[in-house]
A and B are shown apart, each in its own frame.
Chain A
Amino acid sequence: MASPEQPRDHNGPQPSRFELPSVFTWVVLVGFLAFFIQGITAVDVEGARLIAGIGNMGDFISRAVPPDLSRLGPISGYMLETLNMAIVGVAFGVILSVPLALLSSRNTTPHPVVRVVARGVTAVLRTVPELIWALIFVAAVGLGPLAGILAIIMDTIGFCARFFAERIEEIRAGPSEAIQSTGGGRGAVIFGAILPEAMPSMTATSLFGVEKAIRSAVILGLVGAGGIGVELSSAMSLFRYDVALTIIMVIVAVVVVVETVSSAIRRRIM
Chain B
Amino acid sequence: MTVIQVGNIHKRFGKVHVLRGVEFRIPEREGAVLLGANGCGKSTLMRCMNGLARPEQGSIRVHGTDVATCGQRKLRGVRRQVGMVFQNFNLVGNLSVFQNVLYGALARHRSFFSVAAPLASREERDYALHCLERVQLAHCADQRADQLSGGQQQRVAIARVLMQRPSVVLADEPVASLDPKAAREVMNLLWSVVRAEGMTLLCTLHQLDFAMEYGDRVIGMKAGHVQVDRPMHQTDRNELQSLYEGNVRVDETPSESTTPLRKAS
Asked whether A197 is an interface residue with its Cβ less than 8 Å from the other chain, the reply is yes
Complex: A31 Cα to B113 Cα, angstroms = 57
Work out how many contacts link A and B, with CB atoms closer than 8 A. 75
CB pair B79–A180 under 8 Å, yes or no, is yes
Cβ-neighbour of B86 out of A174, A192, A200 (below 8 A): A174
Name the interface size band of chain B. 20 to 34
Shortest beta-carbon distance, A149 to chain B, in Å?
31
Residue of A nearest to B104 (CB): A182
Asked whether A187 is an interface residue with its Cβ less than 8 Å from the other chain, the reply is yes
CB within 8 Å of A: which of B87-131? 88-95, 103-104, 106-107, 111-113, 115-116
Complex: A180 Cα to B92 Cα, angstroms = 13
Complex: A192 Cα to B107 Cα, angstroms = 14
Cβ-neighbour of A181 out of B52, B77, B112 (below 8 A): B52
Shortest beta-carbon distance, B73 to chain A, in Å?
10
Shortest beta-carbon distance, A229 to chain B, in Å?
39
Asked whether B84 is an interface residue with its Cβ less than 8 Å from the other chain, the reply is yes
Residue of B nearest to A187 (CB): B112
Residue of A nearest to B76 (CB): A183
CB-CB under 8 A from A91, the residues of chain B are none
CB pair A192–B103 under 8 Å, yes or no, is yes
With A187-B111, A192-B112 as given contacts, are A197 and B93 in contact (CB-CB < 8 Å)?
yes
Complex: A184 Cα to B180 Cα, angstroms = 33
CB within 8 Å of B: which of A217-266? none
CB-CB under 8 A from B94, the residues of chain A are 196-197, 199-200
With A191-B112, A192-B112 as given contacts, are A181 and B92 in contact (CB-CB < 8 Å)?
no
CB pair A184–B112 under 8 Å, yes or no, is yes
CB-CB under 8 A from B35, the residues of chain A are none
CB pair B90–A183 under 8 Å, yes or no, is no
Residue of B nearest to A194 (CB): B92
Complex: A185 Cα to B109 Cα, angstroms = 10
CB pair A196–B112 under 8 Å, yes or no, is no
Cβ-neighbour of A174 out of B79, B90, B104, B115 (below 8 A): B90
Number of interface residues of A (CB under 8 A): 20
Asked whether B164 is an interface residue with its Cβ less than 8 Å from the other chain, the reply is yes
CB pair A181–B84 under 8 Å, yes or no, is yes
Residue of A nearest to B93 (CB): A197
With A177-B52, A188-B106, A192-B103 as given contacts, are A182 and B79 in contact (CB-CB < 8 Å)?
yes
CB-CB under 8 A from A178, the residues of chain B are 84, 86, 90-91, 103, 157, 160
Asked whether B154 is an interface residue with its Cβ less than 8 Å from the other chain, the reply is no
CB within 8 Å of B: which of A161-217? 174-175, 177-185, 187-188, 191-193, 196-197, 199-200
Asked whether B44 is an interface residue with its Cβ less than 8 Å from the other chain, the reply is no
Asked whether B33 is an interface residue with its Cβ less than 8 Å from the other chain, the reply is no
Complex: A261 Cα to B40 Cα, angstroms = 53
8 extra A-B contacts, CB within 8 A, seeds A174-B90, A182-B79, A182-B103: A179-B106, A183-B80, A185-B112, A187-B111, A188-B106, A188-B115, A196-B94, A199-B94
Q: Could you list 30 examples of A-B contacts with CB < 8 Å?
A: A174-B86, A174-B89, A175-B92, A175-B93, A177-B52, A177-B90, A178-B86, A178-B91, A178-B157, A178-B160, A180-B79, A181-B52, A181-B79, A181-B82, A181-B83, A182-B83, A182-B103, A182-B104, A183-B76, A183-B106, A183-B107, A184-B106, A188-B103, A188-B106, A188-B111, A192-B103, A192-B115, A192-B116, A196-B94, A197-B94
Binding site for B on A (CB under 8 A): 174-175, 177-185, 187-188, 191-193, 196-197, 199-200
